Amino acid sequence: MDPLSALRDFSVRGELDKIVRVGDEFRFGNDYVFSCGAETAYRSKQGNLYTLETLVYYVKNHHVKHTEYLQNARTQKIPAVTLPDRKPLLEYLQGKVSSNDAIEFVVPQNPKAADPVPIDVEEYRPEDPGMIGIRAPADEFEDDNSRVRVPEKVDYVSMIKTLERPLKDRELLLECRHRDFYSVLVASTRREEERQRIESQQRKDGLVAKSRLMGTDERGLGFWKDGEDLGYDSTPKPKMHLKGSKIGEGVPIILVPSAFQTLITIYNVKEFLEDGVFIPTDVKVKQMKGAKPDCVTVQKKFSRDRVVTAYEVRDKPSTLKAEDWDRVVAVFVLGKEWQFKDWPFKDHVEIFNRIIGFFMRFEDDSVESAKMVKQWNVKIISISKNKRHQDRAAALEVWDRLEEFVRSRSHN
């Protein structure tokens, strides 16, 4: 008897408890023994034949909800019966229906037909193409008097699969044991480092080219002072004459206050100008590891220009040499007179003619905080205390004003 018929017979008789699993086999009382992985004649709507293990587990747990049944079957690593197959399969196994379209019985090896047709063995001729494969039941045999059609072929592939044991599953294949991908990682890392090195070199070349271009425009040009006309003058100028060669070769400098009561300091200027995000100084101090930097380099990262100018940010004007002052292009003012003590300028008019000034404040600060600044030629930049998404617009305004000032200064 085939596994499906035996299971149906025991189910109809109410003797499912006599079906016991021992190792890789199911024992049907003392009557039958089948392999757990043996394929039955019941084909699912997905196309595969259900194994005996699947059907035994289902018929013993058909009363369980389908979702719980699937979870339990997955836990025990037993293939489950699909939802469309549950009802017709259960009706067949319980004897409510005698047959089902999904059932495909194979022909047994020694079929016993009701009216067998004798086959003349002496007529077997291997060289005859029409007789090839006679050892396997053919679709039909013919003699002179009648024709008998055998319902199905023997599924030898299914018989072989019942004896197979999986050596690896999908998860084991994905582990890729005894395979080393370190060389791939090294190659990709080297490629990325080379790309970054080339981009860095291109940025440096662009900075040098732009700085030299600015320096060329300024060579031989004087700057006005007390109504003096523009033009080339070979005679020595006062201490604050901007030397074209120095500004052409050096990196422009931005000065920020060293006091903590100002919004922009050397601690948070990089995030504000490069990323467009204001971070309070006390927060940056807590995040910083190591000593306070003497100099910070910033670039306008959110620019469409292929050539980006770099700027040095410093907060100690006293350390600047005479030639360094020629490179100072901007200052963030504190709003206090003492910030400009010992600066090599005679008054605020001269300072903010040579250097563009910015004063950072919160939108809701009192007017008194900017009272002194309003007397100077300084651009006031307001930001919100809480709306950080507005910081980018403020940073862009600083960059636009600064770049416009540098262009006008280089062409004067």
How confident is the model over 236-250, as pLDDT tens digits? 433 333 443 334 457
Q: Confidence class of residue 411 from pLDDT cuts 50, 70 and 90? A: low
Q: What is the mean pLDDT of residues 15-29?
A: 89
> Residues 70-91, buried b or exposed e (16+ Cβ, 10 A)?
eeebeeeebbbbeeebeebbbe
> Residues 274-296, buried b or exposed e (16+ Cβ, 10 A)?
bebebbebeebeeeeeeeeeeeb
Q: Confidence class of residue 331 from pLDDT cuts 50, 70 and 90? A: very high
Q: What percent of the chain has pLDDT over 70?
A: 74
d(CA 9, CA 18): 12
| Angle of helix 3-12 versus helix 52-60 axis, rounded to 10 | 10
Q: Confidence class of residue 254 from pLDDT cuts 50, 70 and 90? A: very high
pLDDT, residue 181, reads 75
Q: Confidence class of residue 101 from pLDDT cuts 50, 70 and 90? A: confident
CA atoms within a 13 Å half-sphere pointing along the CA-CB vector of 11 = 23
Beta-bridge partner residues of 362: 383
Mean pLDDT highest for which of 156-170, 234-248, 268-282, 332-346? 268-282
Q: Answer yes or no: are the C-beta atoms of 28 and 6 closer than 8 Å.
A: yes
d(CA 39, CA 306): 69
For the chain, what is the mean pLDDT? 77
Question: Which of 116, 169, 172, 183 is CA-nearest to residue 143?
Answer: 116
pLDDT, residue 397, reads 92
pLDDT, residue 172, reads 73
pLDDT, residue 214, reads 56
pLDDT, residue 56, reads 92
Q: Which residue has the tokens 């086999």?
A: 25
pLDDT, residue 128, reads 47
The tokens for 210 are 């732009």
Q: What is the mean pLDDT of residues 36-48?
A: 89
pLDDT, residue 106, reads 61
d(CA 254, CA 247): 13
Q: Answer yes or no: are the C-beta atoms of 382 and 369 closer than 8 Å.
A: no
pLDDT, residue 358, reads 92
**Number of residues assigned to the chain:** 412
The phi and psi torsions of 39 (rounded to 5 degrees) equal -80, 135
Beta-bridge partner residues of 295: 314
Q: Confidence class of residue 308 from pLDDT cuts 50, 70 and 90? A: low
Neighbouring CB atoms inside 10 A of 272's CB total 23
Rg (CA), the chain: 45
